[in-house]
Structure formats: structure tokens, C-alpha cells
């Protein structure tokens, strides 16, 4: 089974307008509400790709009820732990540019954290676990480590999609997959990456710190896949980018959807990049038909079959 875990979910409130003037009355042209959070996005895309998953994490209040109800409507199994404070609302203002205002996460007590950790104890080596997104202010990075360590003890395939110190601290547990973008990769290694060669070299350096597989996303410039056996680069088709929200999460979901079926890293990489690209070309998260339309346009170049140190 695939499990996704979102510790700091949100209701994403998308507001579209011609322009926004601060200090003045503004009127929206269109508004939409979506269940948000990186792990939740992964579950939603997996459902669109006909792959089952179970969404975990913390929800609370009327906003938490909205997320649960929307996931139920979409046929996504979920087993959230409920807390007293409402789940946050993230506002996304779309004019000619995208502006985001992220709400403050709910308070998560140590008792509630322990409840989630107990759920992780039941995972097995047959399971894939996606840990994605930011931490609420009330939860320390040590909790991410506790969840990761539990997956390591169980032999579960852990996919980590977070950044900064949280990601740094988890590399030693040898996660199955990490997916930084090139900015996040540079941040981890304290450098600025300006070329494909620098991204590849830095990805190989990161690989030596523990993760088994790495996808480095580079937006419209494609992506890089690296493990101890191969290095590959994906080139993406040109198109109108409608929104980049959820594109990285779609890449993770697409990769998993293909990998659990075929066990082929290159096919999974191509399908993941196609999924991320399809979401960037859409108003919401990608659907299967859109992914399969983009898939043959994603070109994979295998650079080497054995990584040198």
C-alpha cells in the first residue's frame, strides 16, 4: 500500500482577478477551494492515475472536515488524526503573477504526534510511505526523524519531499527517494546551481549522503534522476504554464504510480516528469489522459549506467 503523510495540510483558496490593489476593494473573477498539502496532492494525483493510497496526517475544525469530505468524494481512503484547532487556509492570488499567503498550522500536541507514530509502526516492507511538506510550528524536526526512523525499522520504502534542515536530517536513514528542486539541492549543499552539469554533480554528491534515488526538478528545464546505477536527464515539452502549484507533488505521484507497476526506474522517471508537466499545464492537478498526452513528449537521455565516485 502507498501511504501519504501531510503534517501541515491546508484548504487552498484560489482567487483569480485581473489585478489586486493593496488597501483597496478588490473583486475576484473566479474562486476555487481545494484540499491542499503536498502529501494530499500526491494522493489526489495517484487517484487520478487509478492507484490507491491512504492519506494520513492531522486535520481539525471545519476546514479539516472540508478536506476529509473532498477526499471521500474523490474515493481517496484516509485515516487522519483530529486535533482541536482548524486546519489552516492558504490563499493563492492569481493575476498576471501568482502570490501565496500561507496560513499558520494547527497546534499538534505530543499526544497527537504519538498517535500518528503508532500508525507508522504497522507499516511493512511492502509499503511505500510519502512524507511531504512543511512542519507545523508546534512540531519539531525530531518528529520527522522519528517517523523516518520507524519506516527504516519496518523496511518500508520512504519517499521524502521536504526541504532545508528537515531533509538534511533524514538523509542518513537512506530514504528510497528524495525530490528536491535545484534551488533546494543548492541550499542543502550551500551553493548556487546554475547549470545542468552542476545539478548532476551536486545530485551525485547528495546521493553519497544516503538516499537511494534522487529526482531533481528544474521546472521548464526538465529534471534529473540519479541512483547508484544510472543518471538520466528528462527534457519537457514547451507549453503554457497555467500554475506550478502541485507540480512537484504530481512528479512524485507519477513516479510511484509507474514504479509500483513496473519496477522500472526510467519508466517511472518519465511518467513522473510527465505528471508534473501535465499539472503545470492545468488549472488543477493532472488527470490520467493529460499525463498520457504529455508522456511521449518527455524525452529521457541516459547519461551513464554506473555512477563514479
Q: Residue 233: beta bridge partners? A: 224, 301
Q: Residue 32: beta bridge partners? A: 14
Neighbours of 302 (CB within 10 A): 11
Nearest to 207, CA basis, from 171, 173, 163, 160 = 171
To the question of domain 1-175 being in CATH 3.40.1190.20, the answer is: yes
Domain extents in the chain:
1-175, 180-309
Q: What is the CATH number of domain 180-309?
A: 3.40.1190.20
pTM score, whole prediction: 0.92
249 tagged catalytic? yes
Residue 293: burial class (beta carbons within 10 Å; 0-12, 13-18, 19+)? middle
Do the domains spanning 1-175 and 180-309 agree at the CATH topology level? yes
Nearest to 128, CA basis, from 301, 266, 264, 256 = 256
Q: Which of 65, 249, 284, 304 is catalytic?
A: 249
pLDDT tens over the chain, length 309 residues: 999 999 999 999 989 898 888 899 999 989 989 999 999 999 999 999 999 999 999 999 999 999 999 999 999 999 999 999 999 999 988 888 878 899 999 999 999 999 999 999 999 999 999 999 889 999 998 999 999 999 999 999 999 998 888 888 899 999 999 999 999 999 999 889 989 999 999 999 999 999 999 999 988 889 999 999 999 999 999 888 777 778 899 999 999 999 999 999 999 999 999 999 999 998 789 999 999 999 999 999 998 655 433
Amino acid at each position: 500500500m502507498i501511504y501519504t503523510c501531510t503534517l501541515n495540510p491546508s484548504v487552498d483558496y484560489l482567487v483569480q482577478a485581473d489585478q489586486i490593489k493593496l488597501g483597496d476593494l478588490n473583486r475576484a473573477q473566479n474562486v476555487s477551494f481545494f484540499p491542499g498539502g503536498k502529501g494530499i496532492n500526491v494522493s489526489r494525483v495517484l487517484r487520478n492515475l487509478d492507484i490507491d493510497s491512504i492519506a494520513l496526517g492531522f486535520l481539525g475544525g471545519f476546514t479539516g472536515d472540508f478536506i476529509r469530505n473532498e477526499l471521500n468524494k474523490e474515493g481517496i481512503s484516509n485515516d487522519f488524526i483530529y486535533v482541536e484547532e482548524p486546519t489552516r487556509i492558504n490563499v493563492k492570488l492569481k493575476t498576471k503573477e501568482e502570490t501565496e499567503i500561507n496560513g499558520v498550522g494547527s497546534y499538534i500536541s505530543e499526544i497527537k504526534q504519538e498517535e500518528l507514530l503508532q500508525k507508522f509502526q504497522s507499516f511493512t516492507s511492502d509499503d511505500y510511505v510519502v512524507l511531504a511538506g512543511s512542519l507545523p510550528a508546534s512540531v519539531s524536526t525530531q518528529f520527522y526523524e522519528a517517523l523516518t526512523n520507524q519506516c527504516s525499522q519496518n523496511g518500508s520504502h520512504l519517499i521524502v519531499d521536504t526541504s532545508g534542515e528537515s531533509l538534511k536530517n533524514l538523509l542518513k536513514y537512506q530514504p528510497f527517494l528524495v525530490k528536491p528542486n535545484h534551488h533546494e539541492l543548492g541550499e542543502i549543499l550551500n551553493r548556487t546551481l546554475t547549470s545542468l552539469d552542476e545539478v548532476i554533480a551536486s545530485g551525485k554528491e547528495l546521493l553519497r549522503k544516503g538516499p537511494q534515488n534522487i529526482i531533481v526538478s528544474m521546472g521548464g528545464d526538465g529534471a534529473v534522476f540519479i541512483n547508484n546505477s544510472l543518471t538520466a536527464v528528462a527534457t519537457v515539452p514547451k507549453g503554457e504554464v497555467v500554475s506550478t502549484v502541485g507540480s512537484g507533488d504530481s512528479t512524485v505521484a507519477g513516479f510511484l504510480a509507474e514504479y509500483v507497476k513496473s519496477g522500472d526506474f526510467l519508466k517511472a522517471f518519465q511518467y513522473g516528469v510527465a505528471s508534473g508537466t501535465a499539472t503545470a499545464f492545468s488549472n488543477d492537478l493532472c488527470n490520467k489522459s493529460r499525463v498520457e498526452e504529455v508522456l511521449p513528449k518527455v524525452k529521457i537521455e541516459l547519461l551513464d549506467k554506473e555512477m563514479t565516485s
